[in-house]
Amino acid sequence: MAEIRLTRVEQGQTKIRNVPIAVTPEGFWCCPSPVVFQKTLKTQNPLNKPKPSSSPPHKATVQRKQNPMTERKTPFTPSRSALISDGQRPLNLETTDAPALSASVAPERAPKPKLETLPRKVAIEFGEPGTSDMKVILLGKQGFCVKLSVHKNVLMECSSFFAVKLSEQQQSGLSYLEVDDCEDIEIYVETVGLMYCKEMKQRLIKQSVSRVLRILKVAEQLGFNSCIHSCLDYLEAVPWVGEEEEEKVVSSVLRLQGEGIGVSPVLKRVSSEASKPQKDTLCQIIELVLKSNDERSRREMKSVVLKLLRENNGLPNYAGSADICNETIYSSCRSCFDSLLSLFKQATEPEFAVNPMDIKEPVTKQIALESDNLSWLLEILADRQAADEFAVIWASQQELATLHGKLPIVSRYHISCITARLFVGIGRGELLPSKDTRQLLLQTWLQPLINDYSWLQHGCRSFDRKVVEEGIGRTILTLPLEDQQSILLSWLGSFLKAGDNCPNLQRAFEVWWRRTFVRPYVEPQGDSFQSSDN
């Protein structure tokens, strides 16, 4: 819409002022504008106090002169410049229930008007003054009414709704058109104003997304197709801030999809037509993270991907992709297992020990990297309640466990973090491997974990001693009583030698003791057990 400016000559100088296209008794109102109509009813004071005037202007004066306000300062400056279409002029005011323009020119100390004395009707004229050939009356909430002076040819050309209604009007002989129950009367007026606008894109460019969605809704009701397409072009180009705004945009656009309106440019932002499987995309993401060489960025992206996968776990529509995701993760796990075993073999070769540090250091760093990758993948699987197979694979790594004891502790302790996380998961019930798997896991990896325990406490920042010890103890107590006894007696020998450098499993030891000597749940056979029970 073009901007209209009026000039006045004062002491040989020309002064430019913006003139809004609608006037209310509260002052000036810019239409279209973000100011809601209901403020006319709710606001008791004008937004800006007008300057006192010796004599208020009359309606007749307003209609005869180009702008009576050029003789004094504008009492109200809109928050935005008034934008109207080419040929549009300042609109006339017709109000009832209150004197015309009385609030805009009242003295500063005048008493505040009461709510019931405020006007409830506003008249707005579009196009060239005096050329309108019909009236449209909008009835909103709380008795608010807006009378629009419009042009039939404009409305019929732009709106299928008005085209039908005006055809019916000609048959009925009515001289006006009344629209009841306007939910958003302000946006309704703005949308009608856009019918007089040659460049709607420029008019929408500074609007908020929420306001354009309101315009889109009214344009849909009016069958204003050019406005709908302009709104869609705006929504396709403007950023959407936050998930809530994104959901509002998508739901509004999807509503139009069933009406045959092309909305795919907007929806392409949230949906893809590519046939590339999710498995390939997820595999690519995981592979990029696992092979990253920058420690900080890899750590940050591992946290981000883990968080996003956790969010997806709670979505019902994601259940169909669960198997694909788990399969991809286990494929990466096997690759890490193979790489880790190869590195251990390389690091335990006799000639490796005599190699210079610049050759040994990359192997040591790669062992730490692969161990960290496996810990991350295990965390994902545990969150997805799919880590049972991981426990089976890790428990069967006897060759890796054998090589573990041949490496310096500084190079090997990282893989004990994987063992510790498995024990914690079993102790918390996050994974439920079979009895044979739990037993094999303890037989294969508990002693290597004990051997690395001192380094785990001092060299691993995420290591929580109390949590790990509770997980190990609970895992042991899930086994048959004879296996509990065998493992705990072996632990006792290590604990009595190493002290704090060994996991403290006293709580598990006490539970095993009571199960064995104090209150056996199954009546033991033999008099010796009965006597010890007493």
Do residues 256 and 220 lie in contact, with contact meaning Cβ atoms separated by under 8 Å? yes
Contacts of 452 (CB under 8 A, 6+ apart): 409, 412, 413, 416
| Percentage of residues in the chain having pLDDT higher than 90 | 31
**Stretch 300-311: mean pLDDT, rounded?**
89
**Stretch 175-183: mean pLDDT, rounded?**
81
Q: How confident is the model at residue 388 (pLDDT cuts 50, 70, 90)?
A: very high
For residue 285, count CB atoms less than 10 angstroms from its CB and return exposed for 0-12, middle for 13-18, buried for 19 or more: middle
Selected residue with higher pLDDT from 198 and 415: 415
Most confident of 351-365, 382-396, 448-462: 382-396
Distance CA 223, CA 164 (A): 10
Do residues 6 and 70 lie in contact, with contact meaning Cβ atoms separated by under 8 Å? yes
- Between the CA of residue 187 and those of 17, 191, 430, what are the distances in Å? 26, 6, 54
What is the pLDDT, as a whole number, of residue 64?
A: 36
| Phi, psi of 262, deg, nearest 5 | -70, 105
What is the pLDDT, as a whole number, of residue 124?
A: 84
| C-beta atoms surrounding 35 within 10 Å | 19
Angle between helices 209-222 and 225-237 (to 10 degrees): 160
**Stretch 341-346: mean pLDDT, rounded?**
92
Distance CA 297, CA 366 (A): 17
Tell me, rounded to whole angstroms, the distance of Cα 510 from its chain centroid. Answer: 49
Beta partners for residue 150, in sequence order: 134
Res. 68: pLDDT tops 50: no
Res. 431: pLDDT tops 70: yes
What is the pLDDT, as a whole number, of residue 11?
A: 39
Average pLDDT, the chain: 75
What is the pLDDT, as a whole number, of residue 344?
A: 93
Most confident of 134-143, 219-228, 251-260: 219-228
Q: Which one, of 290, 296, 229, lies nearest residue 263 by Cα?
A: 229
What is the pLDDT, as a whole number, of residue 424?
A: 95
Selected residue with higher pLDDT from 338 and 40: 338
Model pTM score: 0.63
The model's pLDDT over 476-527, given as tens digits with 9 standing for 90+, comes to 999 999 999 999 999 999 999 988 889 999 999 999 999 988 876 666 555 4
**Is beta strand 13-18 parallel, antiparallel or unpaired with respect to 121-125?**
unpaired
| Phi, psi of 123, deg, nearest 5 | -110, 135
Q: How confident is the model at residue 316 (pLDDT cuts 50, 70, 90)?
A: low
Q: Which one, of 447, 449, 439, 440, lies nearest residue 418 by Cα?
A: 449
Q: Which one, of 85, 97, 111, lies nearest residue 2 by Cα?
A: 85
Do residues 450 and 405 lie in contact, with contact meaning Cβ atoms separated by under 8 Å? no
The distance in angstroms from the start CA to the end CA of the chain is 98
What burial letters (b/e) apply to 127-137, b meaning 16+ CB within 10 Å?
beeeebebbbb
Tell me, rounded to whole angstroms, the distance of Cα 479 from its chain centroid. Answer: 45
Helix (H, G, I), strand (E, B), or coil: what is residue 88? coil
Distance CA 361, CA 364 (A): 5
The model's pLDDT over 253-305, given as tens digits with 9 standing for 90+, comes to 888 876 667 788 888 888 876 655 566 788 888 889 998 888 889 889 999 99
What burial letters (b/e) apply to 55-64, b meaning 16+ CB within 10 Å?
eebeeeebee
Beta partners for residue 13, in sequence order: 10
